[in-house]
């Protein structure tokens, strides 16, 4: 019988995508349960079918008012805790230096609990791990966790290159979870026009709240996927991905699509998509970086300071390498 492993990845699509190689490897040697946001249930059939998913929205992962304790779904939290305590896990792991996750692992009663300690959270762990460096990529944190429980997964620089796709479609996705990560739509529109003038098939996808803008600016054939399944169908038809620092780019990377990402407040060293050919524009300097999802200014200068011409001069050679006309 395989030992029982509980994996905590409580954040969003991009984080789940980055954890995918770990989950795939772990499911070969462990009976794996993943505690994650409900979106993981949509990823599970394709990316980690042997993993049992327990859907759970941790209240502290919302973007606003996360510590209004009186509004937390306490009954749901208690039910999940009761369910997981009954599982009697042999191992529980977290790749995030998050005291809250370490407390949960201890509360769930896992026999061995591994994580990266912070603010005294080593008291909840049976084994404290050390990050490779302060700027280690999020995947590299999972690599450290894997080694600690006896798994072999490739180092980030050794991830195998997927077969070249050379599909004709450049998928331009202009959405992101927060406005602070969205490069101006007007610039995306001009980049799309320049691609089409050169003969590339540029397909535009967006978040639902951006759809009307694109329609009003003449993009009749606009895609605004409402589900992960719809998004994956779009990605499967594409040869190259262009977009913001957001979940769709990470999904594109793990299904083998070269990605070009326009970063703002986040660091590419931490969050670049997991494709060996991934490229990006780094956000402009700011004294408050890294500020994650909150900006002190009316607009995120780190992102909006990246001009259309800067993106184009780096994007065009990238598209020429990976996409056919």
Strand duo 240-244 + 201-205: pairing: unpaired
Q: How far is Cα 57 from Cα 259, in angstroms, rounded to an integer? A: 28
Q: What is the pLDDT of residue 66?
A: 63
Residue pair 306/282 in contact by the 8 Å Cβ criterion:
no
Burial of 130 (0-12, 13-18, 19+ CB in 10 A): exposed
Residue pair 115/121 in contact by the 8 Å Cβ criterion:
yes
Measured N-to-C along each axis, helices 308-322 and 185-197 cross at an angle, to the nearest 10 degrees, of 40
Could you list the pLDDT tens digit for every one of the 325 residues in the chain? 899 999 999 988 999 999 999 999 999 999 999 999 999 999 999 999 999 999 998 876 665 656 676 667 778 888 888 899 999 999 999 999 999 999 999 999 999 999 999 999 999 999 999 999 999 999 999 999 999 999 999 999 998 888 776 678 999 999 998 889 999 999 999 999 999 999 999 999 999 999 999 999 999 999 999 999 999 999 999 999 999 999 999 999 999 999 999 999 999 999 999 999 999 999 999 988 877 677 888 889 999 999 999 999 999 999 999 987 7
What predicted TM-score, i.e. pTM, was given to this entire model?
A: 0.92
Q: How far is Cα 229 from Cα 316, in angstroms, rounded to an integer? A: 29
Residue pair 265/303 in contact by the 8 Å Cβ criterion:
yes
Structure tokens at 19: 């954890």
Burial of 82 (0-12, 13-18, 19+ CB in 10 A): exposed
Condensed to tens digits (0 to 9), the pLDDT of residues 28-64 reads 999 999 999 999 999 999 999 999 999 998 876 665 6
Q: How far is Cα 137 from Cα 143, in angstroms, rounded to an integer? A: 10
Q: How many CB atoms lie within 10 A of CB 289?
A: 15
Cis amide linkage into residue 95, ω under 30° from 0: no
Count CA atoms within 13 Å of residue 303 on its CB side: 32
Q: What is the pLDDT of residue 80?
A: 85
Residue pair 109/92 in contact by the 8 Å Cβ criterion:
no
Q: What is the pLDDT of residue 324?
A: 78
Rg (CA), the chain: 20
Nearest Cα residue to 191 out of 175, 210, 204, 182: 204
Q: What is the pLDDT of residue 288?
A: 84
Which domains, from first to last, does the chain contain?
A: 4-158 (3.40.50.2000), 169-322 (3.40.50.2000)
Three-state DSSP state, 324 = coil
Rounded to the nearest 5°, which phi and psi values hold at 172?
Answer: -105, 110
């Amino acid at each position: 019988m395989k030992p029982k492993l509980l994996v905590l990845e409580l954040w969003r699509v991009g984080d789940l995508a980055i954890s995918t190689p770990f989950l795939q490897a772990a499911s070969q040697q462990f009976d794996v349960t993943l505690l994650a946001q409900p979106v993981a249930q949509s990823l599970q059939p394709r990316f980690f079918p042997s993993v049992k998913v327990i859907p759970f929205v941790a209240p502290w992962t919302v973007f606003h008012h996360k510590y209004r304790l009186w509004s937390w779904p306490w009954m749901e939290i208690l039910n999940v805790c009761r369910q997981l305590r009954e599982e009697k896990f042999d191992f529980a792991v977290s790749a995030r230096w998050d005291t809250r996750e370490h407390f949960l692992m201890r509360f769930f009663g896992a026999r061995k609990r591994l994580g990266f300690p912070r603010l005294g959270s080593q008291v909840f762990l049976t084994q404290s791990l050390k990050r490779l460096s302060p700027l280690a990529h999020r995947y590299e944190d999972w690599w450290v966790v894997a080694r600690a429980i006896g798994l072999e997964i490739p180092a980030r620089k050794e991830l195998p290159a997927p077969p070249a796709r050379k599909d004709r479609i450049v998928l331009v996705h202009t959405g992101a979870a927060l406005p602070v990560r969205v490069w101006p739509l007007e610039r995306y529109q001009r980049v799309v026009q320049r691609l089409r003038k050169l003969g590339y098939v540029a397909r535009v996808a967006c978040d639902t709240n951006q759809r009307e803008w694109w329609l009003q600016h003449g993009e009749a054939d606009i895609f605004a996927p409402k589900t992960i399944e719809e998004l994956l169908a779009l990605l499967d038809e594409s040869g190259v991905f262009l977009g913001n620092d957001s979940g769709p780019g990470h999904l594109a990377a793990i299904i083998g699509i070269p990605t070009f990402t326009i970063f703002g407040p986040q660091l590419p060293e931490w969050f670049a998509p997991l494709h060996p050919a991934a490229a990006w524009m780094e956000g402009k300097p700011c004294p408050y970086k890294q500020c994650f999802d909150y900006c002190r200014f009316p607009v995120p200068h780190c992102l909006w300071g990246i001009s259309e011409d800067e993106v184009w001069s780096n994007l065009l050679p990238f598209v020429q390498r990976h996409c056919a006309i």
